[in-house]
Structure 1
Amino acid sequence: MQRIRVQHDLFDSAEEQKILSRDKPRVGAVVTFVGLMRDFNEGAEVVAMTLEHYPGMTEKALGAIAEEAAQRWDLEDISILHRVGELRPQDPIVFVGVSSRHRGEAFRACEFLIDSLKTRAPFWKKEQTSEGERWVDARVTDDAAARRWAE
């Protein structure tokens, strides 16, 4: 099962985690990741960030990433939630969660999902800093993290 959502609203990560194993007695592991907005980036204080996406295209890309994870590992459930709109420091941005029978597969799949999402999902970020607005470029470290899954 896959749940892919792109939304403006805040999500409840505890509830999202419960959904991954609810009524699934075969589940032996649930691994989740919650990404938060930081207040500092590239040498400047960040007071807000606006996340934009292309509706339909973004969900399709996230679904393809989830499908690839499901093909690589034996998973019971996958959940990807990503927020868009204006966010403030410490706001949750993304929730990625997987459930499986075994912890090793759950850990690897969750890490693969977030690494892939950071480089393959069409999101655009504009930060509002103390020095003005700026678009955020992809990070070299994100590209390196995603490349290791191709090996």
Structure 2
Amino acid sequence: MSTPPKNSSKNSSLPTPFSLRLTFEERTTLEQSAGNRPLGAYIRSKLFGGTEAPRKRRSRTRKPLKDEKALGELLGKLGESRLASNVNQLAKAANSGSLPVTPDTEKALQNACDDVRTMRILLMQALGYYSSEV
């Protein structure tokens, strides 16, 4: 049985990391197989059959979303909307005192509020706080 390799630093007793180069396709396949698990943990479990001793350092694990469809809808809504730009223009006009209070302005503000409300509901659904029927 050999001893683990040491770092070049005299004070460190940690083993050096092992890098593995993967093609884009190999990594994509591994990430799909891993699902929501961290890729390193998935590879270790496959290599060592889940019998590896627990690691001292805990890494962040990805929290699975309750409704990935709702998140996709939200991201699509953000991509198609010019909400940020429109609200920014309205805020600048209001700050400078040049915002005309017309039916068009009221409609634009109401549309912005509706968009924000829709995106909030989609986000809450994706995080599992609302059911899909809301």
**TM-score of the aligned structures, taking structure 1 as reference length:** 0.24
Give the number of the structure whose residues are more often helix, by fraction: 2
Q: Which has the larger radius of gyration?
A: 2
TM-score of the aligned structures, taking structure 2 as reference length: 0.26
